[in-house]
Structure 1
Amino acid sequence: MDIIDKKITALLAEDARRSLADIGEAVGLSASAVNERIRRLTTSGVIRRFTVDADHAALGLGVTAFVLVALDYEAGEPAFKAFVAQHPSVAECHHVTGGWSYMLKVRIPDLAALEAFLGELKAHRFLARSETMIALSTAVERGFTPAEERS
């Protein structure tokens, strides 16, 4: 991956709908050369998907919560991973260090839905214990940020 690939990735992270011609102009390549690089970046796994940055509240998912989970390993870690991977409320799942096994980020319509989600985790016997934090507001949330913008 060279500097042009990094610039293309940064431009797509900024706006995934940007035209090939526009990207080409920014990096000094033809649209077809940009298309080939994007294809290669996608095939190699550097670019995993193209997404939309949606307003979750406008979609009826106004509550964001973080659930720290200490697994009950009798239920099985693979079963837990499969459950959270398919659950529509789970936005992210991270294996973490410390006293917890995983941290989940869930997006839900209301507190009743959060209670129902926690009930599902309990019903599947995934939890040895858990702790839930509800986000009051979000100060910063971003996807990929190119290295030159992080410094």
Structure 2
Amino acid sequence: MPVMDDLDRQIVGLLAQDARRALTEVAGQVGLSVSAVNERVKRLAVSGVIRRFTVDASPEALGLPVLALIWVAVPHSREAAFRSFAAEHPAITECHHVTGAWSYLIHLRVSGLDGVEAFLDRLKSDGLLERSETMLALSTIRTAPLVPR
């Protein structure tokens, strides 16, 4: 991973809070010229520190109010197939390879409980699931962008 200095961290922090923030505003806050900030942002993007600029849309407004957290155990022989499936499935917002009794933790966003059931049925029918445990989020207290410290 590339080495970041304090100015890089400040720039990433400001953009993490608001990716649409004008570079002139960022430059003023970190004490650099706009062109210097622009070059740093380009370097941070090329190096992979900044992965993407995105919109944080409300799941409820998009008709996806149900957040299911699903622990899954994947058959060892189906690991590669599961990873491909998870990387492409549009309802999976996060998928983490984890330690312990489970193989992965999935964050699934769907319109209703029938979507959770259909998702699990698909995993089973594709032979990608040994066992699972599903929890539903009742409410979300906090979501936040990752800001360097």
Give the 3-state SS of the residue equivalent to 1:127 in structure 2. Answer: coil
Q: Counterparts of 1:132 and 1:120 in 2: how far apart (Å)?
A: 15
Q: Is the 8 A contact 2:17 2:145 kept in 1?
A: no
Name the TM-score, length of structure 1 as normaliser.
Answer: 0.94
Unmatched tracts of structure 2, length 5 or more: none
Match of 1:133 among 112, 132, 135: 135
- One-letter amino acid matched to 2:145: G
Aligned residue among 55, 59, 63 for 2:58: 55
Distance 2:140 2:100 in 1: 24
Query: Deviation at 1:145?
Result: 2.5
Partner of 2:9: 6
Q: Distance in 2 between matches of 1:87 and 1:30?
A: 42
Counting matched residue pairs gives: 146
SS of equivalent residue, structure 1 residue 81: helix
- Contiguous gaps of at least 5 residues in structure 1: none
Q: Point out 4+ residue stretches in structure 1 off by more than 3 angstroms.
A: none
Q: State how far apart, in whole Å, the 1-side matches of 2:126 and 2:58 are.
A: 31
2:78 is aligned with 1:46: no
Scaled by the length of structure 2, the TM-score of the pair is 0.95
Task: Name the amino acid aligned to 1:20.
Answer: L
Counterpart code for 2:50 = I
> What's the % identity of the aligned pairs?
54
Amino acid at match of 1:95: H
Given the alignment, which residue of 71, 86, 89 partners 1:87? 89
Question: What do you get for the CA RMSD once the two structures are aligned?
Answer: 0.8
2:110 corresponds in structure 1 to 108
Work out whether residues 73 and 126 of structure 1, in 8 Å CA contact, stay in contact via their aligned partners in 2: no
Letter in 1 for 2:138: L
| Residue identity matched to 1:12 | L
Q: Secondary structure of 1:104's match?
A: strand
Partners of 1:143 and 1:63 in 2: CA distance: 21
Aligned to 2:124: 122
1:97 to 96, 99, 124: 99
Partner of 1:33: 36
The answer (yes or no) to whether the contact 2:12–2:147 under 8 Å persists in 1 is: no
Report deviation, 1:146. Answer: 2.6
Residue 70 of structure 2 is aligned to residue 67 of structure 1: yes
